[in-house]
């Protein structure tokens, strides 16, 4: 990413640093310092983008390399940093795999969603989600996948974040400066994929919110219905209040060369975060407890009741027609607290500055 002259960058930094410092002092932020857990040792894992904690196997996370890589999901030990399994998705051509989501359905079965949703040039008319059961045995093997093709309500968009909520909703968060759109994949298509049926005709993901999150690179669901979205430099937990997304709390991240992945651990109190690059550490960060609002009692605008694919099994959503997509504006969305809004703008510009400072190293990894 090419930016302006150093003098201009220094001027921007002088303006932004006080703003970011003020925005960071939001009540509810996680206070415990990030702690290194292990170092990823596999030389094949150099552009790991998505990260998901295994719902079944202890001390295991799943990750994928992004653009230019093969259709492989790596299972990495959080105790040793070594790869315990390389799962090759059979009969799959990977284009730009950027996201992972993991969870259990109403029957207690563990699943992995892989989001081939990267689109830096915003030219893809549709993107594809891959789904397969998490293997009972952690070993390298070929896995058969189910495919679900999606297009966005507002046309092509770059995205790196896929979130599977406990109530069964499947969300895609776009990657953009200053604000990101949150889209929901039609529940009927999600159920069809979970039943083992490919969805080859693109279904329309509807926008259900807008969040002031800059350059969102990954996200993960919490057991209480909230979800966390991270960018290169910051992360925020979001919750549903009366069908509207609001900022719940910021999360303290470690300093990373190109921090992209985040996966919530089973307790919901901590998450693991990763960075692109060779032999990069995994860190554990603390997640703040839920605020005064009760997100588990709230619903999204397009999913008034819970899905049968949810881990809590509390009900079923309305069936949206596959491929339906009524026009919608951004009504029903909320930018969160003023501090979050200011912090989003400041963080966005600060990310630009940071990317420029780290430019040589980062460009060499992202121009594949």
Record the tokens describing residue 215, joined without a space: 């350059």
- Binned at pLDDT 50, 70 and 90, residue 350 comes out as low
Kindly report, residue by residue over 122-179, the tens digit of the pLDDT.
Answer: 999 999 999 999 999 999 999 999 999 999 999 999 999 999 999 999 999 999 999 9
Write the CATH number for 168. 2.120.10
**Stretch 337-362: mean pLDDT:** 49
* Residues 132, 112: Cα–Cα separation, whole Å: 6
Name the pTM for this structure. 0.78
Q: Report the chain's mean pLDDT, rounded to a whole number.
A: 80
**Stretch 93-110: mean pLDDT:** 95
Q: Which residue has better confidence, 351 or 207? A: 207
Tell me: do 341 and 222 sit in the same domain.
no
pLDDT at 69: 80
Kindly list the strands in the beta sheet with 180-184, ordered across the sheet, starting from the edge strand earlier in the chain.
Answer: 99-104, 110-116, 127-133, 146-152, 199-211, 180-184, 170-174, 159-164
Q: For the purposes of burial, counting CB atoms within 10 Å of the CB of 41, is it exposed (0-12), middle (13-18) or buried (19 or more)? A: middle
Tell me: do 207 and 229 sit in the same domain.
yes
- Binned at pLDDT 50, 70 and 90, residue 327 comes out as very low
- Binned at pLDDT 50, 70 and 90, residue 67 comes out as confident
Tell me: do 98 and 1 sit in the same domain.
no
Percent of the chain with pLDDT over 90: 67
- Number of domain units in the chain: 2
Tell me: do 330 and 292 sit in the same domain.
yes
Least Cα distance to 46 among 33, 61, 64, 29 occurs for 64
Tell me: do 222 and 268 sit in the same domain.
yes
Which residues span the domain enclosing 114?
28-335
Kindly report, residue by residue over 254-273, the tens digit of the pLDDT.
Answer: 999 999 999 999 999 999 99
Tell me: do 154 and 174 sit in the same domain.
yes
Tell me: do 256 and 134 sit in the same domain.
yes
Would the pLDDT of 276 be above 50?
yes
Percent of the chain with pLDDT over 70: 71
Q: Which residue has better confidence, 183 or 302? A: 183
Would the pLDDT of 189 be above 90?
yes
Beta bridge partners of 344: none
- Binned at pLDDT 50, 70 and 90, residue 339 comes out as very low
């Amino acid at each position: 990413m090419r930016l302006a002259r150093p003098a201009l960058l220094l001027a921007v930094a002088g303006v932004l640093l006080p703003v970011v410092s003020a925005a960071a002092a939001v009540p509810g932020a996680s206070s415990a310092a990030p702690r290194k857990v292990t170092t990823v040792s596999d030389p094949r894992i150099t552009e790991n983008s998505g990260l998901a904690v295994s719902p079944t196997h202890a001390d295991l996370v799943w990750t994928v390399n992004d653009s230019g890589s093969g259709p492989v999901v790596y299972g990495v030990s959080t105790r040793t940093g070594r790869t315990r399994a390389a799962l090759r998705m059979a009969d799959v051509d990977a284009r730009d795999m950027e996201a992972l989501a993991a969870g259990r359905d109403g029957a207690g079965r563990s699943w992995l969603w892989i989001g081939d949703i990267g689109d830096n040039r915003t030219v893809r008319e549709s993107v594809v989600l891959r789904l397969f059961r998490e293997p009972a045995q952690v070993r390298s093997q070929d896995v058969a996948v189910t495919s679900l093709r999606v297009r966005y309500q507002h046309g092509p968009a770059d995205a790196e974040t896929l979130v599977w909520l406990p109530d069964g909703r499947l969300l895609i968060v776009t990657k953009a400066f200053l604000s990101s759109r949150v889209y929901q994949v039609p529940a009927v298509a999600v159920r069809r994929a979970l039943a083992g049926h490919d969805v080859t005709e693109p279904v329309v993901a509807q926008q259900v919110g807008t969040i002031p999150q800059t350059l969102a690179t990954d996200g993960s669901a919490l057991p209480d219905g909230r979800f966390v979205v991270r960018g290169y430099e910051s992360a925020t937990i979001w919750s549903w209040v009366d069908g509207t997304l609001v900022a719940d709390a910021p999360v303290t991240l470690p300093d990373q060369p190109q921090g992209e992945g985040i996966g919530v651990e089973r307790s919901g109190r901590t998450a693991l975060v990763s960075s692109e690059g060779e032999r990069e550490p995994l860190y554990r960060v603390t997640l703040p407890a839920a605020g005064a609002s009760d997100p588990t009692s709230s619903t999204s605008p397009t999913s008034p009741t819970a899905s049968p694919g949810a881990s809590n099994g509390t009900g079923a959503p309305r069936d949206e027609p596959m491929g339906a997509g009524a026009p919608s504006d951004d009504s029903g969305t909320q930018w969160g607290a003023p501090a979050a809004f200011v912090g989003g703008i400041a963080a966005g510009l600060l990310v630009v500055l940071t990317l420029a400072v780290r430019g040589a190293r980062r460009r060499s990894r992202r121009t594949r």
